[in-house]
Structure 1
Amino acid sequence: MTTENTSSIRRSSELTRFRLAPNPGPMSLAGTNSYLIAAPGSPGVVVVDPGPLDEGHLQELTRYGAVELILITHRHADHTAAAARFAELTGAPVRAADPAHCHGGDPLRDGEVLHAAGVEIRVLATPGHTSDSVCFHLPGDGARGAVLTGDTILGVGTTVLDYPDGTLGDYLGSLDRLENLGPATVLPAHGPVLPELDAVARAYREHRQGRLAQIRTALEALGEDAGPDAVTDVVYADVDASVRRAAELSVAAQLDYLRSGSR
C-alpha cells in the first residue's frame, strides 16, 4: 500500500528527527511519529516505529542515512505493520520486547544499553498501555536527555490501557519510573514533542487518580458489581462513539485495579 503524503522529516531534538506517518485516526491522532536517531555526522541511523505499511513513508525514512537498527515501542499495528517490510528494504534487524515483532534481531531486555548510529540508547520496560511497551532513553540528547515514550505518554491527551494486556498497576509503576528520569524531553509516538518528562508523568498520574475517584463515585450509585459498560456511561458520558471502546478498556483496567484492593 502506498499513500500520498507530503510530510517532511523534522528535527525533534539534538539527536532525533521524526516523520509523521500517513495513518491519522481516532486512536492514532494525526498519525504515528516514526523517529530517526543519529549522532551528528553519523552515516547510520536508528529508526523507531516504522509505522503503517506505506512504501512512500518507508522510502522517506531511508533518506537520512543507512538504517542500522529498527526498534519497536510496542505491538500495536500502527507501530509495527511495516516492520517486516522495512527490515527487508534496509537489511536492518528489528528488535522489540515481544519476540513476535522481532525480525532478525533479539528481543529487547529491560535495562539493556544499545549503541548504534553513534548514540547510547537505554531500554526501559514501561508496561501498562500494553504489557510489552518499552521506552527508549537517550541520556546524551541535550542537557537533560530525551525519552521516546511510544504510547506510554502521548503528546496530547492521555493513553489507553489495553486491558487485560495492559493494567493500571503496571502503568502507574511505569509513570513512576519515567518521572524518576527528571525533566527530559518527551518524544511521543503521537502528538507533539513535550518538555519535562517528570512534570508530564505527574500530570498523567493525577489524571488517573481523578478518573479513579470518578469511578468510585459511579460505583456508589450503580452498585459495586457494575460492569465497564455501565460505568463508562457515567464517567465518559460525552465520549465520541469512535473512541467508546477505548474508554471501556480503560474503565475495565481501573475497575480491575480497584477490585484487586489497589485503592
Structure 2
Amino acid sequence: MAIAHPAYEQLRQVTPTASVLLADNPGKMTLDGTNTWILRGTGSAECVVVDPGPRNKAHIDKIAELAGPVALTLITHRHFDHTAGLKRHIKRTGSPVRSADPKFLRDSDRPLEDGEVIEAAGLQIRVLATPGHTKDSVSFVLDDAVLTGDTILGRGTTVIDASDGTLADYLASMDRLVEAGAGKALLPAHGPDHADAAAVAKMYIAHRQQRLDQVRAALDTLGQDAKPMKVVRHVYADVDKKLWPAARQSVKAQLDYLRS
C-alpha cells in the first residue's frame, strides 16, 4: 500500500523527482507538521533538500539517514519551523545552503535570485520570487511540480506575516504561481500535496478576494477606522478563537491593502 499523508518521518515518494519527509511538529500554524522535500533527478546519487525544518533532532537525523549525499539545501523563507534545524542539518550532511535571506547562506555568498536556474542533483530548479507571506518567500519550479513553501499550503490558507509581508505582494505572487503551476503538482511546506498547482493558486486568489469583500463590508458596519482585532471578531466570528491572533495578521494586511 502506498504511504499517504500524514506519515511522520517516513520518506514518501510524491513525484518521480520529489519525496517528502514530514516532521513531527503539528500545530495551529504548521498544520500536520513541516514538509521537508528531498529532490533527486533520475540516476543521481545526490539530492537537494528543501527546508530542513524545526529544531528536532530525530527529524534532522532522519533526513541525513534517508536522503543520502546532499548536494544543496534550499530555504523557502526564514520562519523557524523551516530553518531552526539548519545548524544540525549542516553538521550532519555538510550541505551548502542557499536562501533569499543572506542570514542562512552557507558555503555561498549569493542569495537566491528571481528567475535563476539552479542545476544540482540531476535537476534544473527555477527560483520564483513569491513574496507576501514574508518578504523573502520563494518558490521552486521543477519540470513537473512547484514547491511553494508557505505561500500556498496543502489545506487552509496562508497568513500574511505583518512584519514584512503585504497583501499586494501576495496577490502578485498568486498570479505568478497560476502561470508557473500550470500542469504541475503542488508541493507545499505544510499539508498534503495536490495534482494541480495552478488550480489551487486560483482558489487562493478567489478566497482572498472574498475576504477583502468581507472586510470592506465589516468596515461599512464598524467604521472605516476600525482596528484589526475588531474586524477579526466581525469577519471571523465562526472561526476558532485560538486562530484569531493569526487572523489578525492577515486582517491587518488586508486593511493596509485597502487603505493604501
The TM tier, using the shorter chain, reads: over 0.9
Following TM superposition, by how much is the alpha carbon of 1:149 offset from its aligned partner in structure 2, in angstroms? 0.5
Per-residue deviation, 1:242: 2.5
CA offset digits 1:97-155 (Å, max 9, x no partner): 0011222223111111101110100000000000000000002xxxxx20000000010
- Identical counterparts, % of pairs: 54
Distance 2:220 2:57 in 1: 52
Aligned to 2:89: 86
1:164/1:253 contact within 8 Å kept: no
In structure 2, the CA distance between the partners of 1:6 and 1:245, relative to structure 1 (3 Å rule), is closer
CA contact (8 A) 2:8 2:23 kept: no
Answer whether contact 1:84 1:103 (CA < 8 A) is retained. Answer: no
8 Å Cα contact 2:8-2:22 kept in structure 1: no
* Distance in 2 separating the partners of 1:21 and 1:58: 9
| C-alpha contact (below 8 Å) 1:33/1:49 kept by paired residues | yes
After TM superposition, list the pairs within 5 Å mapping 1:179-190 onto structure 2.
179-181=178-180, 182-190=182-190
Structure 1 unaligned segments of length 5 or more: list them: 140-144
> 1:142: which partner in 2?
none
The answer to whether the aligner puts 1:107 opposite 2:111 as a matched pair is yes
User: Residues of 1 paired with 2:137 and 2:246: CA distance?
Assistant: 17
Alpha-carbon separation, structure 1, partners of 2:76 and 2:137: 6
Deviations for 1:191-246, whole angstroms, at most 9, x for unmatched residues? 11112111111110000000000000000011000010100010111222332111
In 2, distance between residues paired with 1:201 and 1:64? 30
Does 2:119 correspond to 1:120?
no
Q: How does 1:1-263 map to 2 (within 5 A)?
A: 7-62=9-64, 63-105=66-108, 106-139=110-143, 145-181=144-180, 182-260=182-260
Q: Check 1:35–1:76 CA distance in 2 against 1; reply closer, same or farther (3 A cut).
A: same
List structure 1 segments (4+ residues) > 6 angstroms apart after TM superposition.
Answer: none
> 1:12–1:18: 8 Å Cα contact kept in structure 2?
yes
TM normalised by structure 1 equals 0.93
What residue ranges of structure 2 are gaps of 5+ in the alignment? Answer: 1-6
In 2, Cα distance between the equivalents of 1:240 and 1:176? 30
RMSD: 1.2
Q: Is residue 183–residue 199 contact of structure 1 (8 Å, CA) maintained in 2?
A: no
TM-score normalized by the length of structure 2: 0.94
AA aligned opposite 1:177: R
Residue 42 of structure 1 deviates from its aligned partner by 0.9
Q: 1:180 is aligned with what amino acid? A: E
1:51-79 deviation digits (Å, cap 9, x = unpaired): 01122211211223201111100010000
Aligned partner of residue 48 in structure 2, secondary structure: strand
Tell me the CA shift for residue 164 of structure 1.
3.7
CA distance in 2, matches of 1:28, 1:103: 26
